[in-house]
Structure formats: C-alpha cells, structure tokens
Structure 1
C-alpha cells in the first residue's frame, strides 16, 4: 500500500513537472531575454532540488501542485498578448503531448511497468483537462487561477482593449 502511494505521488509530481516545463519552455521560446522558474509545491526555494536548464530554473519536491513564473528584464518590453497566450497554453500542450506519448508507449509495455505508464498517461490527460477549465484551484492545490481562467481573462481584456481603441 505504501509503495502504491509513493508511486502515485511520483507520477503526479512528474506530470506536474512536465506541465510546468511546458510553460517555462514557452516563456524562453517567445522572448530571448526572458527567464522562467518552475516550482513544485510552494514558492519556497528552501529544501528543494534545484535544477537549471539555461534560462529555466526548477525548484523540485514531491508535490500535488506547481506553477511557473517568468521574468523579463526591465529594459525589455512586456509580453504581448500572443506571447502571454503561448505561455498559458504551453503547460496544457505539454501535458497533452505527454499523454499521447505515454498512451502509445503503454501499448508496447506490459505488466507493472505498463500499468505505471498508462496511469501516468491518465494523470497527464487529467492535468490537461483540468488546467483548461476556467476556475480557481482550491487552496490545498495552490489557490491559483487555472490556465483556462487566465486564458479567458486574457482574451476578455484583449477584446475590451480592442473595443476601447476603436
């Protein structure tokens, strides 16, 4: 029983890491001066595994929530509407691609490893769906707005700005 709980926590943490790395990769792709930080769990940097990949820094632990922050140098212009949209869509797209890859891979592996792979695929699909629903996560999951809610708010603000300028 304990081993199953540990495996589930590791699968969830890996799925979250992939999702948040999608946001981070989108960030450093859309702007050559931007940097990204990925956090699993709280925003604390203490007692976490620190990994750096170029302009992406990750603070990792076993967790059921995570988020990605980006920073742009003050001399650079702020992110445009399209750059923000790419940032918000990066995580769900990474989760979807991971789901498809793991789902296909699960057909070639049997036994316990196959079960872990198909359940990992399911976790990524669940993360893909739930992150696109416009809602605010419960406090125990970070209490932040979902990617879907941030996309919706971004589209509304852009529409209002276009209506105001015409």
Structure 2
C-alpha cells in the first residue's frame, strides 16, 4: 500500500506542475532519483521512473537552455508543493467513501489505505524536516515547510 500511496502523492505534484507550467515537463520518481534499475515511461509531459520503494520525488524537468524557459513563480511553486498533500487527502477521503460500500477483508484494506493516505497528508503538510535512516529523505523539507518558507520570503520582500 505504501508505494501506491506515495505514487498518488507524487502524482499530485506532477499534476501541479502540469497545471501551472504550460511548457515544462515533470519527472516523477518512485524510489531513489538516481536509480537505474526502474521502469521508465512517459505519458504526456510526465516522465515516470518507477520501482517499489518507500520514498518518492517529483521535479520540474531541467531544460538545457534557460533563456526561453518558463519561470517558476512563488505562487506556482506553492501550487505545485500543495498538490501532493491535496492528492493524499483526496485519496484518503475517496477511500473512506468507498469503504462504506464494500464488506469483508477488502474493506479493511481500503480503510487501512485511507488511514495511510491521511497520515501522508499530515506528514507532508506540517512544516518540518524529515528525520530518516533513508539517505534520500533525511533532512529533506516537507511540502508544508517549503510553502512556509516561500510565504515568509515573499512577506519579507513586500516589507
């Protein structure tokens, strides 16, 4: 369930990129961003790099020429960063609704997925740095912390 939950969260970030950046592509990684042993494919403007893992990442694809490239404004970055937690929350909400219409062991699985999705929403929305034994996550800023820093930086500019 974990990798599916992480995939949905990162798909949220990719959707945020697609909605705010008309000329750019998203790179979605399920697993380490530098992993060579993964399934790679492209759908539209999203490049997927998938393997079974407990972490995920989504980046705006770097362009070779920086002159004509669409810029990431603070509001676009906030939308992109908020899209991951929003997708996690929506997954939790939809799984809870679905759980009312099913019975048995599958219901338990769907409720567990809803709880995991809601925990992912909380963990990524609250501003903090991740503390992990995983070298790719340790010290990384949560989505909430990135948004908080963008808002603080723009507030300081306007004063």
**1:96 alignment counterpart:** 89
Q: Secondary structure at the match of 1:52?
A: strand
- What whole-Å deviation, never above 9, does each CA across 1:69-101 have from its counterpart, x for those lacking one? 113642124211110110010001101111111
Richer in helix (by share): 1
Question: What's the counterpart of residue 139 of structure 1?
Answer: 132
CA contact (8 A) 1:33 1:72 kept: no
- Regions of 4+ moved over 6 Å: none
Residues 16-35 of structure 1 aligned to structure 2 (within 5 Å): 16-35=6-25
Match of 1:5 in 2: none
Give 5+ residue unaligned stretches, structure 2. Answer: none
Shift of 1:137: 1.0
State TM-score, norm by structure 2: 0.91
Residue of structure 2 aligned with 1:116, choices 106, 109, 125: 109
Corresponding residue to 1:84 among 77, 85, 88: 77
What is the CA deviation profile of residues 2-22 of structure 1, one whole-angstrom value per residue up to 9, with x for unaligned ones?
xxxxxxxxx010000000000
Tell me the matched-pair count: 153
Alignment RMSD, CA only? 1.3
**TM-score scaled by length of structure 1:** 0.87
Q: Which runs of 5+ in 1 are unaligned?
A: 1-10
**8 Å contact 1:40–1:65 — kept in the other structure?**
yes
Tell me the secondary structure at the aligned position of residue 139 of structure 1.
coil
The corresponding residue for 1:70 is: 60
Q: Distance in 2 between matches of 1:41 and 1:62?
A: 7
- Determine whether 1:44 maps to 2:34: yes
1:53, distance to aligned residue in structure 2 (A): 1.5
Displacement, 1:39? 1.0
Other structure's SS at 2:42 match: strand
Partner of 2:144: 148
- Rounded Cα–Cα distance in structure 2 between residues aligned with 1:161 and 1:72: 27
**SS of alignment partner, residue 133 of structure 2:** helix
